[in-house]
Structure 1
Amino acid sequence: MDHSEEIRSWQRVVYYILGVIEVLLAFRLIFKLLGANPVSGFVSAIYSLTNLLMSPFLGIFRTASARGVETQAVLEPATLVAMIVYAVIAWGIAKLIEIMKRPKKV
């Protein structure tokens, strides 16, 4: 494996982890918007997995809610902020890997 391939491999790992985080947060956003039943096993699992990821961002903006006949839809802007911040962090880590693994010029 040449040097540039090794860099790309590590960057793919970072972006894969970002992808998993983004998908979990996207599920959370959609479930909250559609008023999914939080007692449902799958919805509860997604909320449990994303609570830790969300903790630094909760309280930045107010959440808005709309009460329907059977459900309550919630717009949680903190989820969008978290998705953006995690994407920027992953991009920064990928660039840092590129810088640190770059061959030294003699």
Structure 2
Amino acid sequence: MSNMERKRQVNETEAPTDTLRRVVNILLSLAGFILVFRFVFLLFGANPDNGFVSIIYRITEPFVVLFNGIFAESDMGNGVFEPATIIVLVILLIVSWLIQSLFAKRTVRRQ
């Protein structure tokens, strides 16, 4: 086998950061999913005494409270349009993009 042929035969393995990238992606996606639930529940006036709705509100409150008051909330019939949740979702999207860029899939090549 010539030197040129040896260089073409390369074993590719996943970089160690791929697992971390996947875990971060799953966690941030889950957080975004829960925040969307909060937004929809508030928008349509979901019953806060319902167990599931109450859990969603309690889980997301620490994230949203930081951004309350930037824009005024709007009453919409029985529901409320909460801009703070949208702000948190946008920030979460930006953070997710930055983290994914840092841990972009890189292939480690070994001979």
SS of aligned partner of 1:37:
coil
State whether structure 2 residue 42 is matched by structure 1 residue 36: no
1:12 is matched by which residue type in structure 2? R
Count residues with an aligned counterpart. 97
Q: Please tell me the residue identity of whatever aligns with 2:99.
A: I
Task: Report 1:1-106 matches (<5 A).
Answer: 2-4=13-15, 6-67=16-77, 72-98=78-104
Q: Unpaired segments of 5 or more residues in structure 2?
A: 1-11
Q: Higher mean Cα deviation, 37-46 or 6-15?
A: 6-15
Q: Does the residue aligned with 2:63 lie in a helix, a strand or coil?
A: helix
Q: TM-score, normalised by structure 1?
A: 0.79
Higher strand share: 2
CA–CA distance in 2 between the matches of 1:92 and 1:102?
A: 19
Over 4 Å off, 4+ runs: none
Bigger RCO of structures 1 and 2 (CA < 8 A, at least 6 apart): 2
* Structure showing greater Rg: 2
Q: CA deviation at 1:17?
A: 0.6
> In the aligned structure 2, how far is the partner of 1:58 from the partner of 1:89?
19
Match of residue 9 from structure 2: none
2:43 aligns to what SS in structure 1? helix
TM-score between the two structures when normalised by the length of structure 2: 0.76
Identity %: 33
Q: Which amino acid aligns with 1:2?
A: T
Which ranges of structure 1 fall in alignment gaps of 5 or more residues?
Answer: none
> CA RMSD for the aligned pairs?
2.2
